[in-house]
Amino acid sequence: MVVLSLLGAIGAAVCFGVASVLQAVAARSTSVAAGIDPRLLVRLLRQWPFVLGTGLDILGFMAELAALRSLPLFVVQAAVAANLAVTAVVAVRVLHVRLSGQEWTAVAAVCAGLAMLGLSAGHENPATVSLRFKLVLLGCVAVIAVAGVLAGRLRGRARSVALGLAAGLGFGFVAIGARVVKSLYPLDLLRDPAMYVVAAGGLVAFLFFATALQRGSVTMTTATVVVAETLMPAIVGVLLLDDGTRAGFLWVAVVGFALAVAGALALARFGEPSAEPERVSA
């Protein structure tokens, strides 16, 4: 079960990483008008790479949720952050991007870190928590939503960091919510506040991440998201949800987690592959 769940987490990273490149390809081959163009989405939906990339995003999200049912949060979130390594490697072939020696080292660090996390991971059951705990999670997402709106009023680096932090925390609460979902039966999901944590957290996270990428530094935003979406859930999982490692493998997990996150941070510029579509007049 642990091996299958770990493969699911890695599969999610692969899906997210490849999806980013496919969506960049679609953006490069789609003409846009100056300013805000509502027709852009319609044109993107006519591009098979964009549609395929969106499908991979959905598949990756499902694989992530499945992995969270039986793996510690620190393992799954580190694996998901590894999608930047996948994007970097695929971008070399598809977008003809050149990686520096340091970036290839970062890719190797991510792979080594995931291997160590895989060795250290033990099987976990879905965490059993109180209704109050789930409502607190929902309240935290509401606070993040308000904080993100306020962060959008900032300027320069402060805005990129603040929006990236809000987005990363939103993604983190998606993972925590999925970890504490009790049952996957549709009627049970409708009654479970944890599912609303997943939905609301994902919504605010995507909104703030997209806004930060549109108005600020891709590298700074992505780096902040990676830190927030990996560290916060990992701490919550260990301290509040009894996430642990195999006996005697704690140091392996710590080193592996550090390697995977550090490697992802070094590849932060691949958080949103640059796109230069042909411009047309409005």
More confident residue, 196 or 65: 196
Q: What is the pLDDT of residues 200-209, one digit of tens each?
A: 998 888 888 8
* Mean pLDDT across the chain: 84
Where are the alpha helices (H) located in the chain, listed in sequence order? 2-28, 40-45, 48-68, 73-81, 83-94, 101-120, 131-151, 156-180, 186-191, 193-215, 218-240, 250-266
Q: Domain extents for the chain?
A: 1-124+244-274, 127-242
Q: What is the reported pTM? A: 0.81
Q: What is the pLDDT of residues 26-74, one digit of tens each?
A: 666 655 444 334 455 566 677 778 788 888 988 998 898 888 888 889 9
pLDDT on residue 114: 92
The burial of 77, by beta-carbon neighbours within 10 Å (0-12 exposed, 13-18 middle, 19 or more buried), is given as: buried
- The rounded distance, in Å, linking the Cα atoms of 120 and 75 is 9
Q: What is the pLDDT of residues 85-135, one digit of tens each?
A: 998 998 888 878 888 999 999 999 999 999 999 888 877 777 788 999 999
Mean pLDDT of 212-230: 83
- The rounded distance, in Å, linking the Cα atoms of 18 and 20 is 5
Taking CA atoms, 42 is separated from 50, 143, 254, 273, 274, in Å, by 11, 33, 45, 21, 20
Q: What is the pLDDT of residues 83-97, one digit of tens each?
A: 999 989 988 888 788
* pLDDT surpasses 80 at 222: yes
pLDDT on residue 220: 85
Place 280 in a pLDDT band, splitting at 50, 70 and 90.
Answer: very low
